[in-house]
Structure 1
Amino acid sequence: MTGELGIAGEVIDRAAKTRALCERARDSNVNEKTLLATDYLNHINEIVMLFDLVPDAPECLEDCKAWQPLSYQDHFRASHIADRDLAIEAYDFSPPAYKEPFDQLVAEMNRLVALSIEKLDAALAEGNEDVTRMIAERASRNLQDLIGQASAIIHGTDHAVDQAQIDALMEF
């Protein structure tokens, strides 16, 4: 029998635990099918907004550099939303059909952020406003596309991420 130890030391069947989490997720910020919450995407939206500011306020690049990726569970640990504990607990029980492509998208978003900051830093150092604007706009647009894909997964769309499509987003 596969399972994990419960608080009182009893073995709880993973399927039963998943069903219980799905029940608790009803009428919450956590999707009852995927056991994921869109609130996590607010963290990525923060850097999108910062990228949008950089062309007109280059000093915002320092804020971009200060932004740090957060794991899903770390985001919710720092969150004040009502369902934060449920989001943290449910993440480990999210079905692989949703969790794996979601985690892949998050990794790609974090990679895109790092690459974009590097390129923005170089363009600003060169004083090239047109290139700075192009990089910031492309980073923002590409991140928004990935956020849309992640949101679809969170809402229960079985979506296999096409690596070629993600690689195309990373080209500047």
Structure 2
Amino acid sequence: MVDAEPALGRGDLAPERLKQANINPDTGLATDYLNHFNEVVMLLEMLPAMPECADEVLEWAPMDYEAHFEKSRFSEKGLAIAAYRASPGELRGALQSIVTQIDETVRGAQQALKEADDVTVIAPQVSETATARIKPLVSIAGAVIHGHIDSAEDTEAESQASIDALFA
């Protein structure tokens, strides 16, 4: 059972409990959330060799942190959500900023696939461009989950400009 007003480092959100659940005890965030994005990266990487993956890329939808854990098979999903809610707002904001950029990049790739007359022709470009943007953003999200928001702040403007130009 989770505390009524959980605080990182106390009660159900004690460091050892969080570590055992694979949740960063300092941030209250779990890298399991990144699996949602790694899934679409894998599909995009397979796209040139398997254009039929386009349907799965088009089916992928953004999912926020809490929704991911609510729908996941993560054994400590309730704890992950409670720890997220107790995590510092600055970290949650930095993570959300990066997630928004990832989501926008995927939406751009999806739009390019929808508009393509022949997916096999555009697949290599969509794959290369999208994964070249998404992979670094997923790494930055991982850094935020581990408490390193400097890298997120340093690259936010650069990343947004790249995303804007990505599918223009």
Question: TM-score normalised by the shorter chain: which range applies?
Answer: 0.7 to 0.9
Identity level (%): 31
Given residue 44 of structure 1, which amino acid in structure 2 is its aligned partner?
A: F
State the alpha-carbon separation in 2 of the partners of residues 22 and 165 from structure 1.
37
TM alignment of 1:73-88, pairs within 5 A: 73-88=66-81
Indicate the SS of the match to 1:89.
Answer: helix
Residue 118 of structure 1: aligned partner: 111
Does the 8 Å CA contact 1:22/1:35 hold for their aligned counterparts? Answer: no
The 4+ residue runs of structure 1 with deviation greater than 3 A are none
Q: Find the partner of 1:143 among 134, 141, 147.
A: 134
2:156 to 144, 152, 163: 163
1:98-109 → structure 2 map (5 Å cutoff): 98-109=91-102
Q: Which runs of 5+ in 2 are unaligned?
A: none
TM-score w.r.t. the length of structure 2 is: 0.84
When Rg is computed on C-alpha atoms for both structures, the one with the higher figure is: 1
Correspondence 1:39 to 2:32: yes
Structure-1 separation of matches of 2:100 and 2:48 = 25
Equivalences, count: 158
Point out the structure with the larger helix share.
2
Equivalent runs, 1:10-49 vs 2, <5 Å? 12=5, 17-20=7-10, 21-23=13-15, 24-49=17-42
Q: TM-score, normalised on structure 1?
A: 0.82
